[in-house]
Amino acid sequence: MKVGIVGAGMVGSAAGYALALTGTAARVVLVDRNEKLALAQAQDIAHAVPFASSSVVEAGGYDALAGAGVVILAAGVGQKPGESRLDLLARNAAVFADVVAQVRAAAPEAILLVASNPVDIMTDITTRLSGLPPARVIGSGTILDTARFRSLLGAHLGISPQSVHAYVLGEHGDSEVLAWSNARVGSEPLASVAAQLGAPITADVRARVDAGVRRAAYTIIEGKGATWYGIGAGLARLVQAIAQDEQTVLSVSIRTAHVAGRRDVALSLPRVLGAAGVTASLHPALDPAETEALAASAAVLKETTEALDL
C-alpha cells in the first residue's frame, strides 16, 4: 500500500520510519510545507530501509499522494513544555483547513489518520472538513495511552502486556479514563489474577499506574521537548490493521454518533479496524465512576468543539 504523510516533522518522520522499516507500506510519500525538510527526512529514512525492507520512501507535493490508501495527517505545530493539548487547537485548526482540502483533492480514496494534537478535536475538524464518513477519518486517540496502561499493569504483574486486555477511553489528554473495572489478564478479571499472583492492585499501585499513564507525555516533553517514537510506531500499527484488513480491536478516536450521553463527539473507544476503516465500535461495560468520567470527557470535548466556529 502507498501511504502519504503530510507533516514531515518529528511525528510524521517517525511514522514514516516505522512504516518503512517494518515494510508495512510499500511506498511512503512525505509532504511538508517545508519542502527541504520533507526531502531530507525522506532521504534519511530511505538510507535506513536497505537494512530492513524493500519499501520506497520519497518526498513530493500533494499530487504525489495520488493513489494512496492511507494519508497520515501530522502537520501542525508541536506541543510546548507546559502547554495543554487544548491550547494547541487554534493553531492547528488553521493548518488543517488548508491541508485537508489538498489531501482530499489529491487522494480522494484515502483513509485519513489524524495524529496532530489535540487529536480528538483535530479528528472532529478533519471529519467535517473532509466530508468523509467518520469510519474513514481516524484519530490515533488513546492508542498510546492504552499501550502504556497495559505495559505498566504487565510490569506490576510480571506478565507480558500482550496478555493484558485493558483500555484507556475518552479524550487523549487530561480527561482520559482508565477502564480498570473491565481490565482482564488472559480471560480473567484483573483483580482475581493480581490476587492469585500475590501482586494485588492496592490504592497505591492504582495511583502509580494512573499517574504513569496520564503523565507519560508531559514527562517526555520535559526531557526532550516532544514525543515521537511511540506515536510513530502506533501510527504504523494502525496502517498495518488497515493495509492487512485485520479487523483488530484498537482504541482509536472517531466522531461517534452517540456516546456517553453526547451526540457527534470524537473520542476513543475500542474499535474494529480494517480496510474499510472503523467497521464497529465497542461500548465497554464500565462501573459508575468510570461511566461518569467518560461522560465528563465527552462533555469537555464536545464543548471545545462547539466553541470553534467552523
The binding site consists of 11, 32, 62, 76-77, 79, 85, 115-120, 140, 145-148, 150, 165, 227
Question: Binder to ligand ADP among 1, 74, 178, 293 (CB under 6 A)?
Answer: 74
232 in contact with ligand ADP (CB under 6 A): no
Give the residue with the Cβ less far from ligand ADP, 25 or 31.
31
Parallel, antiparallel or unpaired: strands 70-73 and 277-281: unpaired
**Cell numbers placing 38:** 520533507
List residues forming the annotated binding site for beta-D-fructose 1,6-bisphosphate. 150, 165
Question: Binder to ligand ADP among 11, 119, 157, 301 (CB under 6 A)?
Answer: 11
Question: Binder to ligand ADP among 4, 9, 134, 139 (CB under 6 A)?
Answer: 9
Q: Which of 47, 156, 172, 258 is catalytic?
A: 172
Q: Assess contact for 256 and 275: CB atoms under 8 A.
A: no
Question: Binder to ligand ADP among 8, 132, 243, 298 (CB under 6 A)?
Answer: 8
Beta bridge partner(s), residue 248 = 273
34 in contact with ligand ADP (CB under 6 A): yes
Q: How far is the CB of 44 from ligand ADP (least distance, A)?
A: 14
Whether 172 is catalytic: yes
In this structure, is the dihedral angle defined by the CA atoms of residues 230, 300, 281 and 3, taken in order, positive or negative? Answer: negative
What interhelical angle do 35-48 and 10-22 show, nearest 10? 30
- Say how far apart CA 175 and CA 145 lie, in whole Å: 12
193 in contact with ligand ADP (CB under 6 A): no
Give the Cβ contact number of residue 291 at 10 Å. Answer: 16
Q: Assess contact for 18 and 232: CB atoms under 8 A.
A: yes
76 in contact with ligand ADP (CB under 6 A): yes
Give the residue with the Cβ less far from ligand ADP, 75 or 93.
75
Question: Binder to ligand ADP among 1, 3, 5, 6 (CB under 6 A)?
Answer: 6
**Cell numbers placing 114:** 489524524
User: Which strand ranges, in their side-by-side order, compose the sheet holding 56-59?
Assistant: 56-59, 27-31, 2-6, 70-73, 111-114, 137-139, 248-259, 262-274, 277-281
Single-letter amino acid, residue 292: E
Task: Please identify every residue annotated as catalytic.
Answer: 172
* Interface with ligand ADP (CB under 6 A): 6-12, 32-34, 37, 74-78, 95, 98-99, 226, 228
